[in-house]
Amino acid sequence: MFLRVGGVPHHVVVEGAGPVVVLSAGLGMSWFDWDPVVPLLAPHHTVVRFDRPGHGLSGPALVPPSAAGEAHRIAGILDALGAAGPATVVGHSIAGFHAEAFARLYPARAAGLVLVDSSVEEHARPPAAAGLRLALARALGSALCAAGAPAALGPAARRATVRMSRTGGGDPAQRELVRGCYRTSRVLRGMVLENARYHAVAAELLCLRREFALSAGRRVVLAGGAGGARWVARQQGLAGALGAAFLLAEGAGHLVMLDAPARTAEAISPTPPLPETRRG
C-alpha cells in the first residue's frame, strides 16, 4: 500500500497480527531486505515495513532528512495506519539513528527500541558548510542520473554491496524487485541525499540524547560479529550508553537480518522464533 505522509507517498507493507513492530532498513536498502525476518515475527506481531523517501518504491524526498524528521515520519506512518498503541521500533544501520530519535521524541509510543548493527558516531559534530555539502550532493546525484548511471549500474551496484555486507552469500532479493527499484534515478538521489546528511543527523541525535530521555521500554543492541573486535566494542558502548541489552550475531555481517534472521527476530521479540534458514 501507499500512504501519504508529509506530502510524500510512502510504500508500506503490513503483515501479521499482534503488537506492532516497525522495521526500517539502512541507507540504500528496501522493504524486501527484511524478508527473512518477517515470517518469524508475523505469527506474533503486526509487522510494518516502509521505504523512506527515495528508497524502495516510495516517492522522492521533499526535504533533507533529519533525526527529528525521521522520528516524525515513523509516527506519521503509525498514525496513517491507525496504530495508536506503543510499537517496537527497529532500525538497521543509519536507521538506528531514526529509531532512537523516535524512542526519545515519542516515549509513550515506544514499547521497545532495537538497533541492528546500528550506525554509531560517538563524537559527531554538525558538519561545516552543511548547505554547500547538500547542494554538491544534489548536483552529483543529478550528474549521475543524467549520465544514465542508475539504469547502467544500479542493480549491479546493489548486489555487489549486499554481497560485501554479509557473510552468508549473495543478494537473496528477487531480480525483478532489484531492477524495479535500483534502475531508477529516484533511488540513487535518495541514497546520495541520505549519505550527504549522515553526519548532520548523527550530531542532531547526540543533541536529542541530552534533551530527551528514553522510555522504560525494552532496549536491545544487536551487532554483527563479522564487523571485527573494534566494531563490536563500539556496539557494546552504544548499548551501555542507552542502557540496552547487548546481543551478538556470531559470524554475521552488517546485513544481520539476512545472515542471521532468527537471531534478529530473537532480538526484536522475546517470543521464540522459528528455526533459522540460511539464505545464500
Report residues of the chain scoring pLDDT below 50.
272-280
The pLDDT of residue 274 is 41
Q: Look-up: residue for cell 491507525?
A: 82
- Positive or negative: CA dihedral 28, 157, 254, 235: negative
The pLDDT of residue 280 is 35
Task: Let me know: does 113 contact 176? Beta carbons within 8 Å.
Answer: no
Structure confidence by residue, pLDDT tens digits, 7-37: 999 999 999 999 999 999 999 999 999 999 9
